[in-house]
Amino acid sequence: MISVAIDGPAGAGKSTIARTAAMELDFIYVDTGALYRAVGLACIERGIQTEETAEVINVLDEISIELVFVKGEQRVLLDGKDVSDEIRTEKASMTASLVSRIPQVRSFLLELQRSFSKTNNVIMDGRDIGTVVLPDAQVKIFLTASPEARAKRRTLQLQEKGEKPDYNTILEDIKKRDYNDSHREIAPLKPAKDSVIIDTTQMSLQQSIEAVKDTIKRRIK
């Protein structure tokens, strides 16, 4: 089996790029960030603050999280309910970043993530795939872009949904999440030593997808 690990900061387009590359290369796409978002959503629904570490850990014994694939598309089930849309809010995103710093949360999700790579050719994206989850992946990519470029892209995405986002608020949220992800004690966000760094600041979405696909093809050969 071939494993591709794609890491990078929030808003770098990892999910969209990895999903498209997987489809075009006939791989299974696994969005690990969705798993952390599901844990975050479970905490939000229960009114649990992420500072209450013991409460977050207790939630892990109460919930079940599954990834299922419907017509090739990944869907996330929390306690049997499809929450693929609910986990995409800004609040769920920030909560995911906070709960991901808790070692017990990472351990809870680790084996689930690794299980997919044992039986499938996978493209998996997240924050620590190449460094922790799949350290032996044949291909490792660190996908990044400037905070300003990522904030602009996120603003446009929300505008296309009919929302009225504030660019400056989104930019500050991205910078805050970058700091949280790169400074956590457990599995901080950083490129794996043998990863290929792709900066998409000046790239279009299609150019970014092609750059990732080309890197995968070269490394596999």
Measured over the CA atoms of residue 196, residue 199, residue 202 and residue 206, the dihedral's sign is: positive
Return the half-sphere exposure (C-beta side, CA atoms, 13 A cut-off) of residue 165. 21
Q: How far is CA 191 from CA 5, 156, 164, 184, 187, in A?
A: 11, 27, 34, 15, 11
Mean pLDDT (whole number) for 92-112: 90
Specify whether domain 3-220 bears CATH 3.40.50.300. yes
Q: What is the pTM of this model?
A: 0.79
Of 47-56, 104-113, 136-145, highest mean pLDDT: 136-145
**Residue 179, number of CB atoms within 10 A of its CB:** 12
Which two tokens mark 186? Answer: 């457990």
Share of the chain above pLDDT 70, in %: 100
Which two tokens mark 33? Answer: 């960030």
Long-range contacts of 60-66 (CB under 8 A, 24+ apart): 60/104, 60/105, 60/108, 63/38, 63/39, 65/35, 65/38, 65/39, 65/109, 65/112
Cα 113 to Cα 27: distance, rounded to the nearest angstrom: 15
Task: Choose between 76 and 70: higher pLDDT.
Answer: 76
- Residues 40, 95: contact at Cβ < 8 Å? yes
Of 118, 112, 96, 111, nearest to 42 by C-alpha is 96
What was the pLDDT predicted at 187? 82
Of 169, 172, 167, nearest to 153 by C-alpha is 167
| 176-210 confidence digits (pLDDT tens) | 989 988 988 888 889 999 999 999 999 999 999 99
Cα 65 to Cα 121: distance, rounded to the nearest angstrom: 22
DSSP 92-151: HHHHHHHHTTSHHHHHHHHHHHHHHHHHS-EEEEESSIIIII-TT-SEEEEEE--HHHHH
Of 20, 205, 217, nearest to 125 by C-alpha is 20
